Amino acid sequence: MCGIIGYVGPGPATPRILSGLQRLDYRGYDSAGVVVLDGDRIRVEKMPGKLDHLLDHLKKMPAMNGCVGLGHTRWATHGGPTQRNAHPHLSHRATVAVVHNGIIENHEELRRRLRKRGYRFASETDTEVIAHLVEDHYRGDPLEAVRRAINQLDGSFAIGALFRDHPDVLIGARLNSPLLVGYGEGANYLASDAPAVLPFTRKVAYLEDRELAEIRPGGIRVIDAGGRPRDPKVIDITWDFASAAKEGYPHFMLKEVYEQPRALADTIRGRTNRQHLHFPELEIPARRLRAAKRVTIVACGTAAHAGMTAKYAFEELARIPTEVVLASEFRYGDPVIGRDTLAIAVTQSGETMDTLCAIRAAKEHGALALAVCNVVGSSIPRACDGTVYTHAGPEIGVASTKAYTTQIAVLELLAIRLGMIRGTLTREAARPLLRAMERVPAAVEKALECDGGVAKLARKYAGSRNFMYIGRRYNFPNAYEGALKLKELSYIHAEGYGAGEMKHGPLALVDDTFPTVAVCTKGRAYDKILSNMKEIEARGGILIAVANPRDAKVRALARHVVEVPQTIEMVSPMVTVVPLQLLAYHIAVTLGRDVDKPRNLAKAVTVE
Ligand code: F6R
């Protein structure tokens, strides 16, 4: 989720690029950089950290002149948030400069091949591979060089490239990552998002997958990956800046809920390909993982709920005893942790103080420490022996959504890997699980179709003073998660329970004013949760069920049914949580709450 802006025209590029970058910092803020063709030399300036660091740095440098240029604000995925890894990246002979948003899945293989051909690498990024590859294909035609290069890339990318020998050309190309061209007066633009170009033009065209654009001051030519001309649809952007940053969604949270199919695809793809499962960035050798006799997961809030879901997978697939401890409690107990413990910190921000203290304490006890994190180079990965990143992109809404589902994805992939390493899961048994994983983004996309129906339910029940959420097994943590989302966004009291617990006390709360949201998709405890729902129905409780399509048994019991696609039970929480997120969202909107910044809360909790 990086930001890209490019300009080619008669005027100076640098001020326009910096102004575009200022409008893109919600796309990432690990580093920022700018490149222009200054005379006959490609000149790059880049700095780690927020854009301000780059702006301060540029003040001390000679002016960057040039009428063609690119800018980039980075959200790190491959390679830490350092100056070396900041974009733009130059090709080996400094003839091509590239900025990139996305993940190149086959970058290691391409890097090996390019090294053999004498290319030297200056960074740890997947992007640098693109710069070298384009240079390798360059025979005088920039568009053709990028076209040939992208035909060798797997994964997702939005690319901007400029060439030392072409002072009036920018090239853009995309796959699975947004990129648009902007039409100005005698000048044209390239950007990852509309806000970057809004001060200069409102006429834009979004490129389609595997399309390329050749952008010159006098016009824009678009072709497909086969070289055939395309006719892009030019639209007028009518949004103001704030709506454009949210891509037209009224809130970042809703945008992030809708980004989940993409975030999950980025997280899962590249780590699975039906037969195999690999974590190239995980620096812990298999023998050390095999030696672990137990797993302890430490996390807070939503991340802890992802950990609770993973417990089922670690125990089922890897047959390894797993406990989940709230990070805020961990240090103040007497945890039984030793050299045979694999301690996993789950965190979106990588900065949560409770989680940081807990994983440090686990390490002090001798545990092998692993982070599951969304922010490359943040404190918690730095404190751990290894990290697996969730590629969710920046999460801006305070309520965690896409980070949660991608955390579950990474943890369950780790459980499969651990099962294979420990010999408790054969390759044959793993295969259908990996296939089910690969189908999750499509299932989540389908689940999002419930939005309209859920919004109606939200309006109907927004006046309720209490809510109950129930689930079992893999979907039991989603009961906690649904309740947490509702509490933090709408300020309505809500509780999550394992459905089997209702008869041990909470059933006393149920009356005909009390909505209970039951996650009752197919799984090992499906019949059991139906009985739990009957107990509620018999007492006049209002049941809202999240169920699989055409489930007559659920329909007979529940007052409202929200349907989500059927999956295997293990991956179902990533799908069933979608209506829970949307219900909380729409109730909060109905009540006029500040959805992206609920009262009393902060996005990263850096105090104990
Ligand atoms: C709830 C929420 C919080 C976080 C928790 C941990 O929507 O976002 O409960 O999950 O504060 O934060 P991270 O994952 O950054 O460690």
Query: Is residue 10 located within the same domain as residue 51?
Result: yes
Protein residue with least CA distance to atom 8, ligand 1: 400
Query: Is residue 30 located within the same domain as residue 94?
Result: yes
Strands 170-175 and 368-373: unpaired
Query: Is residue 436 located within the same domain as residue 287?
Result: yes
Q: Is residue 597 part of a domain?
A: no
Average pLDDT over residues 314-325: 98
pLDDT tens-place string over residues 459-483: 999 999 999 999 999 999 999 999 9
Please determine, for residue 156, whether its predicted confidence score (pLDDT) is greater than 90. Answer: no
Show which of 447, 477, 506 is a domain's final residue: 447
Tokens of 519: 């996650």
Q: How confident is the model at residue 297 (pLDDT cuts 50, 70, 90)?
A: very high
Query: Is residue 94 located within the same domain as residue 206?
Result: yes
Cα of 3 to ligand 1 centre, how many Å? 24
Tokens of 112: 């090996």
pLDDT tens-place string over residues 221-233: 999 999 999 999 8
Q: In three state form, how does the secondary structure of 464-530 look?
A: CCEEEEEECHHHHHHHHHHHHHHHHHHCCEEEEEEHHHHHHCHHHHCCCCCEEEEECCCCCCHHHHH
- Mean pLDDT (the chain, rounded): 93
Cα of 252 to ligand 1 centre, how many Å? 16
Query: Is residue 71 located within the same domain as residue 201?
Result: yes
Please determine, for residue 451, whether its predicted confidence score (pLDDT) is greater than 80. Answer: yes
Please determine, for residue 510, whether its predicted confidence score (pLDDT) is greater than 70. Answer: yes
Residues near ligand 1 with C-beta < 6 Å? 300-303, 347-349, 352, 355, 399-400, 484, 488, 604-605
Residue 140 burial (CB count, 10 A): 9
Protein residue with least CA distance to atom 9, ligand 1: 301
Please determine, for residue 329, whether its predicted confidence score (pLDDT) is greater than 80. Answer: yes
Query: Is residue 554 located within the same domain as residue 405?
Result: no
Q: Is residue 602 part of a domain?
A: no
Is 45:24 a contact under the CB 8 Å cutoff? no
Q: How confident is the model at residue 453 (pLDDT cuts 50, 70, 90)?
A: very high
Rounded alpha-carbon distances, angstroms, from residue 570 to 14, 225, 277, 434, 522? 50, 38, 17, 11, 11
Cα of 130 to ligand 1 centre, how many Å? 35
Q: Is residue 135 part of a domain?
A: yes
Cα of 371 to ligand 1 centre, how many Å? 15
Q: Which of 2, 373, 450, 520 is catalytic?
A: 2
| DSSP bridge partners of 543 | 516
Please determine, for residue 508, whether its predicted confidence score (pLDDT) is greater than 90. Answer: yes
Please determine, for residue 430, whether its predicted confidence score (pLDDT) is greater than 80. Answer: yes
Protein residue with least CA distance to atom 7, ligand 1: 399
Q: For residue 608, what pLDDT is reported?
A: 67
Q: For residue 343, what pLDDT is reported?
A: 98
Q: Is residue 385 part of a domain?
A: yes
Please report the atom of ligand 1 found closest to the CA of residue 301.
9
Q: Is residue 395 part of a domain?
A: yes
Query: Is residue 16 located within the same domain as residue 133?
Result: yes
pLDDT tens-place string over residues 167-207: 999 999 999 888 999 999 999 999 998 889 988 999 999 89
Whether 300 is a known active-site residue: answer no
Query: Is residue 158 located within the same domain as residue 220?
Result: yes
Please determine, for residue 456, whether its predicted confidence score (pLDDT) is greater than 70. Answer: yes
Tell me, what CATH number does 92's domain have? 3.60.20.10
Three-state DSSP class for residue 122: coil
Query: Is residue 520 located within the same domain as residue 417?
Result: no
Q: Is residue 471 part of a domain?
A: yes
pLDDT tens-place string over residues 17-55: 999 998 887 777 788 999 999 998 999 999 998 888 999
Please determine, for residue 301, whether its predicted confidence score (pLDDT) is greater than 90. Answer: yes
| DSSP bridge partners of 215 | 170, 220
Query: Is residue 207 located within the same domain as residue 91?
Result: yes
Protein residue with least CA distance to atom 16, ligand 1: 347
Q: For residue 367, what pLDDT is reported?
A: 96
Q: How confident is the model at residue 1 (pLDDT cuts 50, 70, 90)?
A: low
Is 561:548 a contact under the CB 8 Å cutoff? no
Query: Is residue 171 located within the same domain as residue 285?
Result: no
Cα of 401 to ligand 1 centre, how many Å? 10
Whether 597 is a known active-site residue: answer no
**Size of the chain, expressed as the number of residues it contains:** 608
Three-state DSSP class for residue 341: strand
Residue 60 burial (CB count, 10 A): 6
Show which of 394, 426, 447 is a domain's final residue: 447
Three-state DSSP class for residue 7: strand
Instruction: State pTM to two decimals.
Output: 0.83
Average pLDDT over residues 314-324: 98
Q: For residue 274, what pLDDT is reported?
A: 60
pLDDT tens-place string over residues 357-386: 999 999 999 999 999 999 887 889 989 999
Please report the atom of ligand 1 found closest to the CA of residue 302.
10
CA dist., res. 333 & res. 329, Å (int):
6
Q: Is residue 595 part of a domain?
A: no
pLDDT tens-place string over residues 262-285: 999 999 987 887 667 778 777 788
The more confident residue out of 97 and 378 is 97
CA dist., res. 74 & res. 29, Å (int):
6
Query: Is residue 489 located within the same domain as residue 476?
Result: yes
Q: For residue 429, what pLDDT is reported?
A: 95
pLDDT tens-place string over residues 233-255: 898 887 777 777 888 899 999 99
Tell me, what CATH number does 299's domain have? 3.40.50.10490
Q: For residue 482, what pLDDT is reported?
A: 98
Q: Which residues of 484-498 are buried (b: 16+ CB within 10 A; e: fewer)?
A: bbbbbbbebebbbbb
CA angle centred on 270, ends 266 and 274, rounded to 5°: 115
Cα of 273 to ligand 1 centre, how many Å? 30
Q: The domain containing residue 280 runs over which residues?
A: 254-447
Please determine, for residue 296, whether its predicted confidence score (pLDDT) is greater than 70. Answer: yes
Average pLDDT over residues 2-16: 95
Count of structural domains within the chain: 3
Please determine, for residue 575, whether its predicted confidence score (pLDDT) is greater than 90. Answer: yes
Q: Which of 50, 460, 528, 603 is catalytic?
A: 603
Nearest to 213 by CA among 263, 143, 272, 283: 143
Residue 575 burial (CB count, 10 A): 29
* C-alpha neighbours within 13 Å on the C-beta side of residue 491: 12
Ligand 1 pocket test target in 324, 352, 374, 406 with most atoms within 8 Å of CB: 352
Q: For residue 102, what pLDDT is reported?
A: 87
Please determine, for residue 256, whether its predicted confidence score (pLDDT) is greater than 80. Answer: yes
* Tokens 């974590």 found at: 279
Q: Is residue 561 part of a domain?
A: yes
Show which of 389, 421, 447 is a domain's final residue: 447
Average pLDDT over residues 548-552: 97
Cα 122 to chain centroid distance, Å, stands at 27
